[in-house]
């Protein structure tokens, strides 16, 4: 039964109303975080906090940027996240291609299932074994401990994301390249990767954001402030008897900025990369 114009209008209004409510629900914690960061200390610590700001101040941001080691922690997180993203992407490109093109070989399906099952293991279960491993190899309080740990968890996810896209690339393109004398490695770099840019960017974004936001391993593996990353570093604003909520919120707002910028400028590639492998070409 066809809907009338009036019914379609009300359906659109209802749909947008529901979406707006969901958006407000999702954004409210971030808005409250930014709101608190712009309040003076007496308004933050009141027993009846409100969303309204009586006296706008940027002192919390100034304290975070110039009176703490936030910039150092920010740089450490950027280094670790970029290194994790690059390393995960390199490994996952070859692993995803192998699982996509050699799936008829014995054992490939077992590897695929094993990688999938590895995503069901909570990271906290591997915290102690990884800590002992890093300790035995003298990697604690170094960037390498975090990069290796993050890469361990990101490679299976990145591999499956890229495999799904590689499955949608027609094999005839590779056969034509082989006829022209192109090697298997040449096919990957000259044929597969150029047409997989959206998927590569989407995969890189997921790897970067996961490494950027990670807290547990960075908190346990690093006690040296020279190598401390951003998320554990924010906890330093919490003292033994008092908590500087204004600085915590200001630091949290600043830590979200790189991720927001990435998603704003890369959202087209993210959507294309997430949907491209859904339909097999």
Domain ranges of the chain: 5-37, 67-276
Residue 115 confidence (pLDDT)? 82
For residue 238, report the phi and psi dihedrals to the nearest 5 degrees: -95, 115
User: How far apart, in whole angstroms, are the C-alpha atoms of residue 141 and residue 226?
Assistant: 9
Bridge partners for 243 per DSSP: 238
Residue 43 has pLDDT above 80, yes or no: yes
What element of type H or E holds 133? helix 127-136
> How confident is the model over 97-122, as a mean pLDDT?
82
Hey, what CATH topology would domain 67-276 get? MetI-like fold (1.10.3720)
User: How far apart, in whole angstroms, are the C-alpha atoms of residue 83 and residue 214?
Assistant: 14
> How confident is the model over 55-60, as a mean pLDDT?
88
> How confident is the model over 199-227, as a mean pLDDT?
91
Q: Please name which of 26, 52, 57 lies closest in space to residue 247, comparing C-alpha atoms.
A: 57
Residue 1 has pLDDT above 60, yes or no: no
pLDDT band (50, 70, 90) for residue 104? confident
pLDDT band (50, 70, 90) for residue 279? very low
Q: Which of 30-34, 58-62, 104-108, 154-158 has the lowest mean pLDDT?
A: 104-108
Buried b (16+ CB within 10 A) or exposed e, 78-91: bebbbbbbebbbee
Residue 145, classified by CB atoms within 10 Å of its CB into exposed (0-12), middle (13-18) or buried (19+), is buried
Q: Please name which of 129, 119, 86, 82 lies closest in space to residue 229, comparing C-alpha atoms.
A: 82
> How confident is the model over 261-270, as a mean pLDDT?
78
Residue 277 confidence (pLDDT)? 53
Bridge partners for 238 per DSSP: 243
| Residue 141 CA: distances (Å) to CA of 78, 128, 231 | 17, 15, 15
Residue 41 has pLDDT above 90, yes or no: no
User: How far apart, in whole angstroms, are the C-alpha atoms of residue 151 and residue 87?
Assistant: 7
Question: Mean pLDDT over all residues of the chain?
Answer: 86
DSSP state of 78: H
- pLDDT, tens digit, for every residue of 110-159? 888 888 888 888 888 889 999 999 999 999 999 999 999 999 999 998 99
Residue 280 confidence (pLDDT)? 47
Q: Helix %, strand %, coil % for the chain, to 5? A: 75, 0, 25
Residue 236 has pLDDT above 90, yes or no: no
| Token duo for residue 265 | 């400028």
């Amino acid at each position: 039964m066809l809907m009338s114009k009036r019914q379609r209008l009300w359906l659109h209004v209802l749909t947008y109303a529901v979406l707006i409510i969901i958006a407000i629900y999702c954004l409210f914690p971030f808005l409250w975080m930014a709101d608190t960061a712009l309040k003076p200390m007496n308004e933050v610590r009141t027993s009846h906090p409100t969303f309204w700001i009586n006296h706008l101040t940027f002192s919390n941001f100034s304290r975070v940027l110039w009176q703490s080691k936030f910039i150092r922690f920010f740089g450490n997180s950027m280094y670790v996240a970029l290194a994790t993203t690059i390393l995960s992407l390199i490994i996952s490109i070859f692993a995803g291609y192998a699982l996509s093109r050699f799936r008829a070989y014995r054992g490939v399906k077992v590897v695929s299932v094993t990688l999938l099952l590895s995503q069901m293991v909570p990271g906290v279960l591997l915290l102690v074994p990884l800590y002992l491993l890093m300790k035995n190899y003298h990697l604690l309080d170094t960037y390498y401990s975090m990069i290796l740990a993050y890469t361990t968890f990101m490679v299976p996810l990145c591999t499956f994301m890229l495999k799904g896209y590689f499955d949608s690339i027609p094999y005839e393109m590779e056969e034509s390249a082989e006829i022209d004398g192109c090697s298997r490695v040449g096919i990957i770099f000259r044929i597969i990767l150029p047409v997989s840019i959206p998927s590569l960017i989407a995969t890189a974004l997921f790897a970067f954001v996961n490494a950027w936001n990670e807290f547990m391993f960075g908190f346990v593996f690093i006690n040296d402030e020279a190598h401390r990353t951003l998320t554990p570093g924010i906890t330093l604003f919490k003292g033994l008897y008092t908590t500087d909520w204004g600085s915590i919120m200001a630091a949290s707002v600043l830590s979200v900025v790189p991720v927001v910028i990435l998603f704003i400028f890369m959202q087209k590639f993210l959507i294309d990369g997430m949907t491209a492998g859904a339909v097999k070409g």
